[in-house]
């Protein structure tokens, strides 16, 4: 698989982290998980801005972003309601294996939670 295809898959997977979060200041809502979900979105933005024309720089960005994603996801596991912990565990496992599309799929219930519990664009949902 070419580096461009891999980059595209990764960008789509991390871009899905943007669902349910965004805005300026402190727009995340009062649920403890909201800020962590927003942090995952920022990690996705880092990858989206990576220079795919430089394989070494791209790999370094991916390595650092994956490490940040995993750190945040582990904190998220403790912050989400009990019924979402298994989904976060699947996200973590997929990201550890660099299976970012699987991590994004595992996020679907977390994203639904974010849409209902967190604010987007500075406005309450």
pTM, to two decimals = 0.72
pLDDT of residue 93: 96
Residue at 109 is within a domain: yes
- Work out how many domains the chain is built from and give that number: 1
Q: Whole domain around residue 90: which residue ranges? A: 3-18+31-117
DSSP string of 46-90? HHHTS-TTSHHHHHHHHHHHHHHHHHHHHHHHHHS-GGGHHHHHH
Mean per-residue pLDDT for 97-120?
88
pLDDT in tens, 52-107: 899 999 999 999 999 999 999 999 999 999 999 999 999 999 999 989 889 889 99
Residue at 123 is within a domain: no
CA distances from 35 to 3, 59, 77 (A): 32, 27, 13
């Amino acid at each position: 698989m070419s580096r461009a295809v891999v980059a595209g898959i990764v960008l789509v997977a991390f871009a899905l982290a943007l669902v349910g979060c965004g805005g300026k200041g402190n727009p995340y809502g009062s649920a403890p998980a909201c800020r962590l979900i927003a942090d995952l979105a920022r990690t996705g933005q880092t990858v989206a801005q990576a220079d795919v024309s430089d394989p070494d720089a791209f790999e370094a960005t991916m390595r650092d972003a994956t490490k940040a994603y995993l750190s945040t996801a582990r904190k998220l596991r403790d912050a989400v309601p009990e019924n979402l912990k298994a989904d976060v565990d699947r996200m973590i496992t997929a990201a550890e294996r660099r299976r970012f599309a699987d991590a994004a799929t595992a996020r679907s219930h977390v994203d639904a939670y974010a849409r209902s519990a967190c604010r987007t664009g500075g406005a309450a949902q």
